[in-house]
Chains A and B, each alone.
Chain A
Amino acid sequence: MIVPFGHTLILAGILFFIGAACAALRRNLIMILIGVEIMLNAAGIAFIAGSLRWNQLDGQAFVIFIMAVAAAEISVALALIVYLYRRKNSVDADRFDLLKG
């Protein structure tokens, strides 16, 4: 007996929305990526809690795929940030407004 299943879901939900707020509110591109990382991690917590709740290993398998996708996404996104920094000399998300009318 650990805790009710809902408490793990609530923890994952709070973490997910902290990450979403970080991605929506910060202007720095690196902090936006960190917010996305927090959201992926929170999804993993919910998957593992569900895996323990129903005693199925599918949840843990999905967390492995989440980690693989997070690693791929972060490597490409950080390379993009370095590319943009060389172009504009800034990592402020509001500076990249080339398509603004």
Chain B
Amino acid sequence: MNLYAIAFYALGAVMLVSTTIAVFQRNLIHAVVYLVISFLATALLFFLLGAPFLAALEVIIYSGAIMVLFLFIVMMIREERKREVEWRRWGQWVPAFFLTLLSLVVSIALITREPDARAYLITAVATPAALGNYLFQHYWLSIEIASFLLFIALVGALYLGRSVDGEPGDEAGGNP
């Protein structure tokens, strides 16, 4: 077991533990912060697997932008505390848990059966310049479509986020 393997297993342990804590967390802000830890570990894993540009994007977009957006929304929404039941009832909990566990066991069994999965990964690095060249040579139309999708999402978010019952001139936010 060399240094790369030790780094991989350590990062995997960090990701699994912090994601599990985040999922079972009752406090939403704590959940988001644990998830930021998980995404930072994911960024390091991307770096280990030879994708430094995507590691930077993971830090910037996932743990930088998306999780901070979640934090803002959690701070905006003050959930009432009188309702104690946060989880679903046992009648819904048990089948969902067992179906998830069964799918996980089947997929792990299929992965370990696959002879191609036993091949060791060899370290390699895709430099950002190489990735950019490849992306704009082979996927330029998809890049344009993705940017268009982001634009439409921006318009949709602006449309949904407008004041509900106020007139167009009423952006003071103070509902009477």
B156 within 8 A of A: yes
Docked-complex contact B4 and A3, CB < 8 angstroms: yes
- 8 Å CB contact of A11 from B15, B20, B160: B15
Chain A proximity mask over B136-152: 1 for CB below 8 Å, otherwise 0: 00110010001101101
Q: Which residues, 35 to 81 on A, are CB-close (under 8 Å) to B?
A: 35, 37-38, 41, 44-45, 48-49, 51-53, 55, 57-58, 60-61, 63-65, 67-76, 78-81
Knowing A27-B86, A30-B73 touch, does A65 contact B122 (C-beta < 8 A)?
no
Docked-complex contact B73 and A7, CB < 8 angstroms: no
Alpha-carbon separation in the docked complex, A55 to B123 (Å):
10
Q: Which residues, 22 to 61 on B, are CB-close (under 8 Å) to A?
A: 22-23, 28, 31-32, 35, 38-39, 42, 45-46, 48-51, 53-54, 57-58, 61
Alpha-carbon separation in the docked complex, A1 to B160 (Å):
49
Contacts of B149 in A (CB 8 A): 68-69, 72
- 8 Å CB contact of B157 from A51, A55, A64, A76: A76
Alpha-carbon separation in the docked complex, A27 to B96 (Å):
13
Specify the main secondary structure of chain A where it touches its partner.
Answer: helix
Docked-complex contact B114 and A6, CB < 8 angstroms: yes
Chain A residues with a Cβ closer than 8 Å to the other chain, count: 71
Alpha-carbon separation in the docked complex, A28 to B86 (Å):
7
Alpha-carbon separation in the docked complex, A53 to B142 (Å):
24
Docked-complex contact A8 and B69, CB < 8 angstroms: no
Contacts of B112 in A (CB 8 A): 6, 10
A2 within 8 A of B: yes
Q: How many whole Å from A18's CB to the nearest CB in chain B?
A: 5
Docked-complex contact A68 and B150, CB < 8 angstroms: yes
Docked-complex contact B111 and A6, CB < 8 angstroms: yes
B116 within 8 A of A: yes
Alpha-carbon separation in the docked complex, A10 to B57 (Å):
23
Contacts of B108 in A (CB 8 A): 10, 13-14
Q: Which residues of B contact A (CB under 8 A)?
A: 2, 4-5, 8-9, 12, 15-16, 19-20, 22-23, 28, 31-32, 35, 38-39, 42, 45-46, 48-51, 53-54, 57-58, 61-62, 65-66, 69-70, 73-74, 76-77, 79-80, 83, 85-88, 92-93, 96-97, 100-101, 103-104, 107-108, 111-112, 114, 116-124, 126, 130-131, 134-135, 138-139, 142, 146-147, 149-150, 152-154, 156-158, 160-161, 164
